[in-house]
Amino acid sequence: MGEFVRLETSDGIGTIRLDRPPMNPLNTQVQEELREAAQAAAADPQIRAVIVYGGEKVFAAGADITEFTATTYQEMTVRAGALSSAFDAVARIEKPVVAAVTGYALGGGCELALACDWRVVADDAKLGQPEIRLGLIPGAGGTQRLARLIGPAKAKDLVFSGRMVDAEEALRIGLADRVVPAADVYASAVELLKPYLNGPALALRAAKLAIDGGLSTDLASGLAWESQLFAGLFATDDRIEGTTAFVEKRKPKFTGR
């Protein structure tokens, strides 16, 4: 698809593959190619789940800092929103999404992993938000998604210090969901997604929208949103198949409609 980001499809899984050796730095071009790949994965009905993957050696070691040294405040006020929205395009894929993390996921790389639903992490990987060491803060979701995922106190520890965490600590604080040998990261991500490939796609979409949408609002509004999504599923073929199969004591055959 792009020079540095491509979308590969196999057996219902779309893989958004970063390929800008040696460390997959996230410059403006990668940012826009990532947005394009995320939108394509979201729109393709043949893709039922998505993996974001940087390859066997590294996920993404952060922003391309060479772009920052001469960037002015005026320029960044225009660019910052586009940077954040590119990562948001990944978060808004209405399908199960997992980050397969090898090597380093630092700065923008960590923020990209945070935009996914789960993170499968290599046992020798390092994750973190080191922007404070550049006199900056995370600017593509790091202060917001990280705090929602691991809590504000732990997020402040990582953001204020800029320190890296290893896979064991990432698992302990909730930044990682699975830790596996580095050679098994991609395969483990595929295994995590397999149960959803033939599942009720519209119900999975509604579940993701309900959870993510509810996190950004108060409880009463979240419950109202949940009720609306719940009721909408009664217009789907999969709801008819699922409830009928339950009554008939058989396994449902979902079609994603």
Segments in 105-151 forming alpha helices (H)? 108-114, 142-150
Residues near 10 by beta carbon (within 8 Å), at least 6 away in sequence: none
Task: Measure the CA–CA gap between 6 and 3, rounded to whole angstroms.
Answer: 8
Task: Measure the CA–CA gap between 51 and 240, rounded to whole angstroms.
Answer: 30
Catalytically active residues are 63, 108, 111, 131
Burial of 219 (0-12, 13-18, 19+ CB in 10 A): exposed
SS3 at position 64: coil
Which of 180, 176, 174 is closest to 151 using CA atoms? 174
